[in-house]
Structure formats: C-alpha cells, structure tokens
Amino acid sequence: MSYRTEIKMIEQTVSSIEDTEQFILHGSDEHLDLILDVQKGFSNIAELTRGIVDDIEKNFNSYTSEKAKDIVDKAFLIFSGSEKINTSIINAGLQNEVRTQLEMFNNEVNDLREITNDLSRYKVNRNEDYNSLFND
C-alpha cells in the first residue's frame, strides 16, 4: 500500500468512527428522550389518578348509586389501560429506566382500584356483582 492509500483508509476509518459515534449519540439521545417522555407520562398519569382518588374520597358519601356505577364502569378503562401500558414497558425493556415512576403510577392505580371497589360495595346496587370483578 502506498502512503496515500493508507492515509485515505485512515481518513475513511476516522470518518466511519465519527459517523458511528454520531449514530450512537443520536440513538442515545433518542433513547434518553424516550425514557424522559415515558417518565413524564407516568408522573402525569399518576397525578391524574391521584386526583380521581382524592375526588372520589371527598365526594364518596354524596354519590348516588347511578353516579357510583358510572364511575366504577369507567374506572375499568384505567385498569385495562394500566395492564396494557405495564406490558408495553416490559416488552420495550424500559422497566428499569422508569422504575420509580412506574411504581408510583401502579400505586395510584391500586389506590383507585381500592376506592372503586369500595364504591361498588357500598354505593352500587348489590344485584350487580362488581366485587367479583376485583378478585377480592
């Protein structure tokens, strides 16, 4: 090999290293952005869920059977969504990166499940067996 060929190969290798580094950095930035977005999303959802629980607790005694039934029915959308999002996080391999926010979210969903279970027991017509849906 000639000097020029070696220099050219070195330059190509350096360029390839730089391109690969940029790809890694860009990919890392995207991955970091994804993690931050997911963490923020879980924090927001946890806050919303906490707000629902707080409102139900505050207004529990004033709910009619119909209102309580409507809340219980609609809460099941949150429970099924929670299961789906937990599965998605596991499938994406992000559970370690978002562990704290995921636990916070799941704790709030569990609190919602408890208060919704109480609504179904004490406010909703007992002819509809919501209790069995909670597996308590």
pLDDT on residue 104: 94
Helix (H, G, I), strand (E, B) or coil at 93: coil
Longest dimension (CA), the chain: 90
Query: What phi and psi values does residue 97 have, to the nearest 5 degrees?
Result: -70, -25
The verdict on residue 2 lying in a domain is: no
Nearest CA to 56 among 36, 42, 70, 43?
70
The verdict on residue 128 lying in a domain is: yes
The verdict on residue 98 lying in a domain is: yes
The verdict on residue 20 lying in a domain is: no
Question: Could you say which DSSP state residue 55 is in?
Answer: H
pLDDT on residue 17: 66
The verdict on residue 124 lying in a domain is: yes
| Whole-number Å distance between alpha carbons of 45 and 77 | 13
Contacts of 79 (CB under 8 A, 6+ apart): 109, 112, 113
The verdict on residue 70 lying in a domain is: yes
Count CA atoms closer than 13 A to 124's CA, side-chain side: 19
pLDDT on residue 125: 62
The verdict on residue 74 lying in a domain is: yes
The verdict on residue 82 lying in a domain is: yes
pLDDT on residue 136: 47
Domain holding 95, by residue range, is: 38-134
Number of domains into which the chain is organized: 1
pTM as predicted: 0.73
Q: How would you write the pLDDT of the chain (136 residues) with one tens digit per residue?
A: 555 766 777 777 776 666 655 655 565 677 788 888 888 888 988 989 998 999 899 999 998 898 989 899 899 889 988 888 888 888 888 889 889 999 999 999 999 999 999 999 998 865 545 455 555 4
Contacts of 60 (CB under 8 A, 6+ apart): 115, 118, 119, 123
Length of the chain: 136
pLDDT on residue 93: 85
